[in-house]
Amino acid sequence: MSARDKILSKLRAALDEGDATVKARSAAAQARIRTAKQTGPIPKIARTDGMDRVNQFVERAEAVQATVRRIATIEELPGAVSDELRRRNLPAALRMGDDAMLASLDWGAVETSVGPGRLEEPVTLTAAVGGVSETGTLVFRSGPDAPSSLNFLGEAHFVVLRARDIEAGLEGLWRKFRDSGADPRTVNLITGPSRTGDIEQKIELGAHGPVALQIFLIDDY
Amino acid sequence: MTAEPKSSQFKSAASEALQNPRLQAAMKASGGLAVRRAAAIAEIPEFEAIRDAGRDLKNHTLANLDAYLLAFEEKALESGAKVHWAADAEEARAIILKIVGRHAKGPEGKARVNKGKSMISEEIGLNSALEAAGHHVLETDLGEYIIQLRGEPPSHIIAPAAHVSKPDVEADFRAAHTHLDPERTFPDAASLVHEARHVLREQYFGADVGITGANMLIAETGQGVIVTNEGNGDLSQILPDVHIAVASLEKVIPTLDDASTILRLLARSATGQSLSSYTTFYKGARRQGDLDGPKEMHFVLLDNGRSEMLAGEFREMLRCIRCGACMNNCPVYRAVGGHSYGWVYVGPMGSVLTPNFVGIKEGRHLPNASTFCGRCQEVCPVRIPLPGLMRKLREAEFEQKLSPQTARYGLGVWRWFAKRPALYHRMSSIGMRALNWLSGGHGRLKRLPFGGGWTAHRDFPAPAKRTFMAEWKARKAAKSQGDDQ
Ligand code: SF4
C-alpha cells in the first residue's frame, strides 16, 4: 500500500462513523470550498470605507515602521522617488520588473534596470496590486513584470500603490482575486519592513529583507 | 524514528535550568511576548468571536480531513506542484533526501540546502539526516541560525533562540565568522543582526534546494502559506531551483477566507502584531516568463502520529496553529525554558504533543510539568483545553503504571478517599485548615511539607479557607436568603 493510501485509510478509520462517510465528507468539503463564503467575524478595523479606509491604511503602515509619501498622480512618482533617494543618501538607481506602467514614466537622471533581485540591491521599486487597510499591508502578485525577489532583496523597498486599490480587510482581497480570475504563483502580503526579535526579543529592522519600506501612495481614491 | 527525544530527563533538566543564571536572565528578557499579545488583542474587541470561529473552522476541517487533503492535493497538482505523502518521519526524510540528491550541484552529489524555520523539519530530524548524507544545510531564520551554530535544538517554537543571551550570540558569531575583522565590536543587538544579514545574504544565492515549512495549506487553491518576520522563508523558496515545503496533515484549511480567520489569530497571539511582516501564498513552480521562483515545487504531507491523534481523545490538539502563546504565558515554561522539555515541542503544547508523538513512557513527566493554572487555555487562540488534555495524559500514564511508586501510592489513597465523599470532604477540610495555618493567612506557601521539589522555585498557593463544597453551601444559603427579601 502506498503511503498515501495508508494515511487516507487511517484517517477514514478515525472519521467514519454513522453518516460521516467518505462521500458525505467530500460533499461537505466541496460545498464549503465552492461557496467559499466568509466564515469568521470581520473585525471593525476591517470594515472601513472611503477616506477613512485610506487614512487607516496609512496609520497602520506607519505603525509597523513603513513610511508613506502621498502623491497626486502617477506622473509625480519619478520626482518623489528621486527626492526620496537623495533624502536617504541612496544611489540614484532603481531595480524593477518588466512593468509597462513603470517603464512609461520619465525617470530623468535616475538610472533604472529591469530584472530579478541580485545579491547587492540598494533600492528596488515594485507596484503593489492592492493594500489592506485593516493591517497596513501591501499586496503583490508575481509575474514576468513583477519578480517576487524584488520584494525581499532591496536594502530599501520602494512601493507604488493606488489609494483606490486599498481594500478594507483581507476578505476584499480574496474577492478581488476570485473575481478577476487572477491566479498568480506567488502572492506576497507585506506589512512593514523585515524584522527580527531573535536576539533577546529586541525588535530590529532589516533581518534579511528590506531595512526600509517606503510607500508612494497615489491619492486617487 | 523522529528527532531524538530526551523528555524522560525533564526533572533533572528542569532543575539544572533553574540553577542556570544565564538562562534565567535570557528567559527574563523574553517576557515581552506575552505583554505584546495582550496589547494587540485589546485592539480588536471581536477577538473572542474570532477565536470561536478559529476553533470551529479547525474542528470542521479535522472532521473532514481526508476530503480536504484530497481537495488540496488536486489543486496543488493542477498548479504543477508535486505532492508526496509520508506516513512517518523516516518516509519524509527519504522523500526529501531523494529530491535533494537529484538536484545537488556540488561535487560528489553534495547539495547546498537553505532552510526556512520549520518545526516539522525539527520533528523529523531533517538536518542531521541531510548532513549525514553529506549535504550542506543552512538555517536562515536568525534564531535558527544561532542555534545551528551552537549545535542546539530550539527552545521555543517561534523564538528558537529565546534561551540565548546577546553575549552568547556575540561569542558564537566571532567563532563562526572567522573571515571578518576580529577587532570588530558589537555595541548592540542591531550590529549582530546586521552581521547575520551580511553573512547569510551571500549564502541565499547558490543554494540548490530551499526547504520551508507551511503555516497553512489552502484546499480551495492548492496554495501553501508561509508566515515570517525576517523574509528568510521567502528568500529560501524564491532563489533556489527547487522548493520543498514540509507540512503536517492538520495544516490544511478549506478556503482563503478561513485563512483570514487564522491570520487574525496567529500573529496577534504569537508576537502581538496584527499581521507578521511577510505572509506569502505560493503555488506550483515558476511560470512561463517568470524571472524568479523555483523550477520545481514539492509538498511533503506528513502524518507521523496525526492520524492516531485524530482517532483518539487528543484530536483537539490538532487545532494548534503553533503560535507559542501557551508557552509565553506558562509559569513552568518561563521558569525552566524550552530545553528542559527534551524535544522539539515545548511548553504546554509540547506537554501534550510530545507524549503523543514519542510515547507516554518517554514523555511522561511533561504533563506533570504544569501548575494547572489554566493560563495556557485562556490564551490559546483556537481554545485547546490544554490542562484537560494533560490530565488525560496523566491518567493514561497512571493506567500504564509508569508513575513512580510514591505518586501511585498518593493517587491510590486519593482515589480511595474520592470514592467516599463524606470522608473526603472531612479530610480535605482538615488538610486545608492545616495548610492555611502554615501560610500564616497570606495565601502563599513558601515551603510545603514533603513538597520541597515544588516550593524551592515557586510559591504554592495556599488553599482557600473553606473547601469548595463548604463555600458552595454557604453561598447557596446566602443567595436563597437574598432571594427571600
Ligand atoms: S496550543 Fe494553542 S496557544 Fe499553544 S501554540 Fe498551539 S495554538 Fe498556540
For position A75, what pLDDT does the model report? 95
- Selected residue with higher pLDDT from B450 and A59: A59
The whole-number pLDDT of residue B48 equals 97
- Secondary structure class of B392 (helix, strand, coil): helix
CA-based nearest residue in chain A for residue B46: A43
Question: Please, which residues have CB within 8 angstroms of residue B78's CB and are 6 or more apart in sequence?
Answer: B222
In a domain, residue B314? The reply is no
**Which of A6, A147, A197 is the closest to B292 by Cβ?**
A147
Mean pLDDT confidence for A62-89: 97
Q: Count Cα atoms within 13 angstroms, Cβ side, for A15.
A: 26
- pLDDT score of A39: 77
- Closest residue by Cα to atom 2, ligand 1, is B380
Work out whether strand A166-167 and strand A130-132 pair parallel, antiparallel, or are unpaired: parallel
- Considering the domain architecture, whether residues B293 and B328 belong to the same structural domain is answered as no
Q: Do B285 and A197 touch (CB under 8 A)?
A: no
Distance B467 CA to ligand 1 centre (A): 32
**What parts of chain B have a pLDDT lower than 70?**
1-2, 29-30, 401-485
pLDDT band (50, 70, 90) for residue A193: very high
Distance between CA atoms of residues B336 and B338, nearest Å: 7
Residue B231 lies in a domain: yes
**Are B328 and B237 in a shared domain?**
no
pLDDT for position B412:
46
Q: Does B29 touch chain A (CB under 8 A)?
A: yes
Helices (H), A40-140: 50-63, 77-87, 100-103
In terms of domains, do B140 and B14 share one?
no
Query: How many Cα atoms are found within 13 Å in the side-chain-facing hemisphere of B37?
Result: 22
Report the sign of the C-alpha dihedral through residues B402, B404, B405, B406, in that order.
Answer: negative
- Residue B119 CA to ligand 1 centre (angstroms): 13
Whole-number pLDDT of residue B446? 46
Query: What CA–CA distance (Å, rounded) separates A156 from B87?
Result: 44
Is B232 in contact with A197 (Cβ distance < 8 A)? no
Report the residue from B68, B261, B274 with minimal CB separation from A40: B261
Res. A207: pLDDT tops 80: yes
What's the pLDDT score for residue B425?
53
Domain containing B338 equals 1-30+324-403
Distance from CA of B484 to the nearest CA of A (A): 43
CB B237 within 8 A of CB B92: no
Angle at A86 between CA A84 and CA A90, to 5 degrees: 95
Same-domain pairing of B20 and B128 = no
CA–CA separation, B170 and B29 (whole Å): 17
Domain A46-218 has CATH 1.10.540.10: no
Chain centre distance of CA A137: 6
- Mutation site for B-interface testing, chosen from A4, A185, A203 by largest number of B Cβ within 10 Å: A185
Mark whether B253 and B293 lie in a shared domain.
yes
How far apart (Å, rounded) are the C-alpha atoms in residues B358 and B5?
A: 7
Tally of domains within chain B: 3
Measured between alpha carbons, how far is A157 from A131 in angstroms, rounded to an integer? 15
User: Which B residues 122-151 touch A at CB under 8 Å?
Assistant: 140-143, 146
Q: What is the ipTM of this complex?
A: 0.96
CA–CA dist B135, B120 (Å, integer): 19
Query: What is the Cβ-side half-sphere exposure of residue A29, based on CA atoms within 13 angstroms?
Result: 27
Pair A134, A169: CB distance under 8 Å: yes
| Nearest residue of B to residue A4, measured between CA atoms | B85
Based on the fold, state whether residues B147 and B178 are members of the same structural domain.
yes
For residue B315, tell me if it sits in a domain.
no
CB contact under 8 A, A198 and B271: no
Out of B382, B403, B424, pick the residue that ends a domain. B403
**A184 against B360, higher pLDDT:** A184
The helix or strand, by DSSP H or E, that contains position A94, with its residue range, turns out to be strand A93-96
Q: Is the pLDDT of residue A37 over 80?
A: no
Q: Is residue B159 part of a domain?
A: yes
Hunting for cell 472519521 — which residue is that? A15
**What CATH number does residue B85 fall under?**
3.40.50.10420
Which residue's alpha carbon is at the smallest distance from atom 7 of ligand 1?
Answer: B320
What is the C-alpha R_g of chain B?
25
How far apart CA B312 and CA B316 sit, in angstroms, is: 9
B23 and B39 both lie in a single domain: no
Note the pLDDT tens digit of each residue in A95-140.
Answer: 999 999 999 999 999 999 999 999 999 999 999 999 999 999 999 9
DSSP string, B38-72: HHHHHT-TTHHHHHHHHHHHHHHHHHTHHHHHHHH
Measured from CB, residues less than 6 Å from any atom of ligand 1 are B 269, 320-326, 349, 379-382, 384
Smallest Cβ–Cβ distance between B275 and the set A6, A117, A137 belongs to A137
Q: CA-to-CA distance for B96 and B102, rounded, in angstroms?
A: 10
Angle at B176 between CA B173 and CA B178, to 5 degrees: 100
DSSP A112-128: EEESS--SS-SEEEEE-
Work out how many CB contacts closer than 8 A connect A with B. Answer: 287
Q: Write the single-letter amino acid at B137.
A: V
Q: What's the predicted TM-score (pTM) here? A: 0.87
CB contact under 8 A, B256 and A36: yes
Of B164, B258, B287, the CB nearest to A39: B258
- Pick from B130, B132, B166, B172: nearest CA to B152: B172
CA distance readout (Å), B116 to B231, B412, B483? 9, 48, 63
Going edge to edge, which strands form the sheet with B82-86?
B82-86, B296-302, B242-248, B209-212, B112-115, B136-139
Give the pairing type, strands B242-248 and B296-302. parallel
Q: Report how far residue B444's alpha carbon sits from residue A153's, in angstroms, rounded to the nearest whole number.
A: 54
Q: How far is A106 from chain B (nearest CA, A)?
A: 24
Co-location of B357 and B256 in the same domain: no
Instruction: Looking at the structure, tell me whether residues B127 and B79 fall in a common domain.
Output: yes
Question: Which three cell numbers mark B33?
Answer: 511576548
Same domain, B424 and B383: no
Residues B176 and B260 in one domain: yes
Tell me the C-alpha to C-alpha distance, in Å, between residue B421 and each of B175, B415, B416, B474: 64, 10, 10, 18
B356 and B345 inside one domain: yes
**Residue-range domain boundaries for chain A:** 1-35, 46-218
Portion 57-116 of B in contact with A at CB < 8 A: 57, 60, 63-71, 79, 84-87, 91
Q: Where does the pLDDT of residue A38 fall: very low under 50, low under 70, confident under 90, or very high at 90 and above?
A: confident
Residues 6+ apart with CB under 8 A from B102: none
